Chain A
Amino acid sequence: MADVNTPTGSTTAGSIEVGTAGAGAQLAGPGTGRATVQQPIDARVAVKPSFDVNDFPVPTGREEDWRFTPLHRLGGLHDGSAVSAAKGEDKVELSLPDGVTAETVGRDDARLGKAGTPVDRVAAQAFSAFEQALVVTVPKETVLTEPVKIDVHGEGGTRFAHVVIDVKPFAEAVVVINHTGTGTRAANVELLIGDGAKLTFVSVQDWERDAVHAAQQTALVGRDASFKSVVVTFGGDLVRIHPRVNYAAPGGEAELFGLYFADAGQHLEHRLVIDHDTPHCRSNVVYKGALQGQDAHAVWVGDVLIRAAAEGTDTYEHNRNLVLTDGARVDSIPNLEIETGEIVGAGHASATGRFDDEQLFYLQARGIPADEARRLVVRGFFAELVQQIGVAEIQDHLMEKIEAELEAAV
């Protein structure tokens, strides 16, 4: 499978940017926003994918894929200085249902690097610098009833990590990586979903406020396989998660769900790429975020590419943001590039709405206190998405986290 760097056909793109809307400013309701024309996806990925950090120039912040990221807050992950920074430790706890194996392997293990190649300098840095990788294998036809849990607790310092989740043909698994603690972290996660297999992969970024985390999560979806990615980001100072989907054979299906809650000063960035280069595959993306507080910043970029060969593709991507206070900023950019007309469907939508004074007044005028009104709105906003995760334990945990976020700052 190839990464995104071929000639392109038509492009449709939208961008919604909500600046600091002052009191009385025109409200940005759902479906509003200004549209701008973006460059085609391939033009925005200027550098070829590579495992070697030296193949990538140090980003300056002017590149399309770095222009939203505050590089000075990346802890040197982008310019090589992180390599000589104080090394950090993780406390990792694994919870492995029967039949699942987890191994710690060296850099030369043949199972590494199969799902895809790092596409930016930070991911390549992680690949060039990690010392040991974690390989979790769900054997062929093994249907798990309990989730695989990987609890990563960062204890400070800089870490380069590599994780491979290998779900063999016709196996079914839920894998949850939960990140807590702190530190500066660059990682690659490879997700191999064998023919007819099903994987739900949940990545929770529940970091302490000062953590830095950049990760490329690359999935390779086998024939008639189902992949569900759930990315949940609450914590950290700068988090930049980059889920990518490649299809190894026809009939694959990918659902990418994301949920983030940015508080004052946090930069939470999610950029995803779905590369439809194989016929009769599907993808569905729903990301929802809430923001509150001064300089809370959420970035969402969804690149979906339907190549000429990918007949019968069906894809939809949707990003919604709910801005709860003044001073928060959202950049939401869906991109859909279509090189063949022989598809089932393709669409994208992006909407950024403000929880505004009129809504607050309406709820209060029915006796509902202001803080409860805000909670009601945010809970409703996320609940619909959380219900689609399909893992009850995780759903409950997420709703609790959302409540906690609201308690903390509203």
Chain B
Amino acid sequence: MATLEIRDLHVSVDAETGPREILKGVDLTVKQGETHAIMGPNGSGKSTLAYSLAGHPKYTVTSGSVLLDGENVLEMSVDERAKAGVFLAMQYPVEVPGVSVSNFLRTAATAVRGEAPKLRLWVKEVKEAMAALQMDPAFAERNVNEGFSGGEKKRHEILQLELLKPKIAILDETDSGLDVDALRIVSEGINRVRSTGEVGTLLVTHYTRILRYIKPDYVHVFAGGRIVESGGAELADKLENEGYEAYVKGGASE
């Protein structure tokens, strides 16, 4: 069973004034089949955690470790992490002009699966996955994320999640920018992947609204660059009622 183990992770970014520590000792274990919600106020470092796990060059890990089934993730290049089974659905997906969605998806699937998927099966697979997310088939011929609305970008991220079938899915604010219908469609997509029992999910969010569709096994409150409280789904209800004030006031955010 795949397990992601994050131990005492410290991460800084290059700020104008020199390195600035954003993550200040994150500990978290995510097992296949589990869903962990990470909730925290703006600027608390949620995206920093997500990007650091995926290997974005902007973030420097200064100490701590990240292991996937005992393998050192921090030593892997970005594409190696993806091949090892780490998937990041981005808060702000990037536009890639000149590259069509269909070409991109097939190239990615080929890289992650280690061989080119059989064309006929692949076309069917993509078609079905797009239909399930209520994406117009015309998106396949458009350039990656170019001119996509916020909601379309998020659907496209979840489309990739469904096709690439990672061991660990990190979903960074996949719910933001979605209207109610889109939120339901996207959540259903995530639940389809979860229901296989083969993915460990790290659901990063600011709001509790997506948790109505996706029931987490664990909820972690993230503030000031670390997890400050962990609990079950009931912790989300507490946050819904009380907000993050208690955690921020306590000086945890700085």
Which residues of A pack against B, CB within 8 Å?
30, 322, 353, 357-359, 361-370, 372, 376-381, 383-384
Contacts of A367 in B (CB 8 A): 79, 82-83, 108, 111-112, 164
Q: A364 to chain B: which residues have CB within 8 Å?
A: 55, 77-79, 82
**B111 A362 Cβ-Cβ under 8 A:** no
Q: Which residue of A lies closest to B82 (CB)?
A: A367
Residue numbers in A under 8 Å from B83 (CB-CB) = 367
Cross-chain contact B94 with A361 (CB below 8 angstroms)? yes
B108 touches A359 (CB 8 A): no
Query: 24 interchain pairs (CB within 8 A)?
Result: A30-B97, A353-B97, A357-B57, A359-B96, A361-B57, A362-B93, A364-B55, A364-B77, A364-B78, A364-B82, A365-B54, A365-B79, A366-B111, A366-B164, A367-B79, A367-B112, A372-B111, A376-B99, A377-B96, A377-B97, A377-B98, A378-B98, A380-B103, A381-B97
Residue from the list A30, A353, A358, A380 in contact with B99, Cβ < 8 A: A380
Contact A366 B90 (CB under 8 A): no
Tell me the chain B residues, 61-117 only, with Cβ under 8 Å from chain A: 77-79, 81-83, 87-88, 90, 93-100, 103-104, 107-108, 111-112
Task: Beyond the given A365-B54, A368-B107, A379-B98, please list 14 additional residue pairs across the A-B interface where CB-CB is below 8 A.
Answer: A358-B94, A361-B56, A361-B57, A362-B93, A362-B94, A363-B104, A365-B55, A365-B87, A366-B104, A367-B79, A367-B82, A367-B83, A367-B108, A372-B107
A366 touches B56 (CB 8 A): no
Q: Do A366 and B112 contact each other (CB < 8 Å), given the known contacts A357-B57, A376-B104, A380-B103?
A: yes
Name which residue of chain A comes closest to B77, CB basis: A364
B143 interface residue (CB < 8 Å to A): yes
Q: Provided the pairs A376-B107, A380-B103 are in contact, do residues A368 and B79 lie with their beta carbons within 8 angstroms?
A: yes
Q: Is the CB of A366 within 8 A of B98?
A: no
Select from chain A the residue with minimum beta-carbon distance to B78: A364
- Do B94 and A380 touch (CB < 8 A)? no
The binding surface of chain B is classed by DSSP as mixed
B160 interface contact, C-beta 8 A: yes
With A361-B78, A364-B77, A367-B164 as known contacts, state yes or no: A376 contacts B103, CB within 8 Å: yes
Residues of chain B contacted by A366 (CB below 8 angstroms): 82, 104, 107-108, 111-112, 160, 164
Closest residue of chain B to A322 (Cβ to Cβ) is: B98
Residues in chain A near residue B77, CB distance under 8 A = 364, 369-370
Q: Which chain B positions have C-beta within 8 A of A370?
A: 77, 79
The 8 Å CB contact of B96, one of A357, A363, A369, is A363
Chain B: minimal CB distance from A18 (Å): 15
Q: Which residue of A lies closest to B14 (CB)?
A: A24
> Which residue of chain B lies nearest to A358 when distances are taken between CB atoms in the complex?
B94
Closest beta carbon of chain A to B90's beta carbon, Å: 7
Closest-by-CB residue of B relative to A362 is: B94
Q: Which size bracket describes the interface of B in this complex?
A: 20 to 34
Residue of A322, A369, A381 touching B79 (CB-CB under 8 A):
A369
Bound together, the chains give a CA A378 to CA B98 distance in angstroms of 7
Complex formed: what's the CA distance from A372 to B79 in Å? 11
CB distance from B61 to the nearest CB of A (A): 16
A361 to B143, CA, bound (A): 17
A131 nearest CB across to chain B (Å): 45
Please tell me which one of the listed residues B78, B97, B98, B107 contacts residue A365 in the complex, with CB atoms under 8 A apart.
Answer: B78
A372–B96 Cα distance when bound, in Å, is 14
Q: Residues of B contacting A357 with CB < 8 Å?
A: 57
Which of B54, B97, B111 has a CB less than 8 Å from the CB of A369? B111
A367 to B112 CA separation, bound complex (whole angstroms): 5
Tell me which of A362, A377, A383 contacts B90 (CB under 8 A).
Answer: A362
Task: Provide the residues of chain A in CB contact with B164, threshold 8 Å.
Answer: 366-367
- Nearest B residue to A353 via CB reads B97
A357 to chain B: closest residue by CB: B57
Chain B residue nearest to A351 (CB atoms) is B97
Chain A nearest CB from B99 CB (Å) reads: 4
How far is the CB of B125 from the nearest CB of chain A, in Å?
Answer: 16
Instruction: Determine the distance from Cα of A368 to Cα of B114 in the docked complex, in whole angstroms.
Output: 11
A379 to B98, CA, bound (A): 8
Quote the shortest CB–CB distance from A402 to chain B (angstroms).
12
In the complex formed, the residue of B with least CB distance to A380 is B98
The answer on a CB contact under 8 Å between A365 and B88 is yes
* Identity of the chain A residue whose Cβ is nearest the Cβ of B114 in the assembled complex: A367
Q: How far is the CA of A357 from the CA of B100 in the complex (A)?
A: 19
Interface hub of B82, B88, B96, B160 (most chain A Cβ within 10 A): B96
If A357-B57, A376-B99, A380-B143 touch, whether A368 touches B111 (CB-CB below 8 Å) is: yes
Question: 4 tightest CB-CB pairs across the interface, nearest first?
Answer: A380-B98, A367-B111, A366-B108, A364-B78
The CA-CA distance from A180 to B74 in the complex, in Å, is: 48
Assembly CA distance A369 to B111 (angstroms): 8
Instruction: Tell me which residues across on chain B come within 8 A of A322, comparing CB atoms.
Output: 98
- A378 and B144 CA atoms in complex are apart in Å by 14
Expressed in whole angstroms, the Cα–Cα distance for A280 and B134 within the complex equals 46
The distance in angstroms between the C-alpha atoms of A368 and B81, with both chains bound, is 11
Name the A residues within 8 Å of B98 (CB-CB). Answer: 322, 377-381, 383-384
Q: Name the distance in Å between B51's Cβ and chain A's nearest Cβ.
A: 9
Instruction: For the complex, give the distance between the alpha carbons of A357 and B58 in Å.
Output: 10
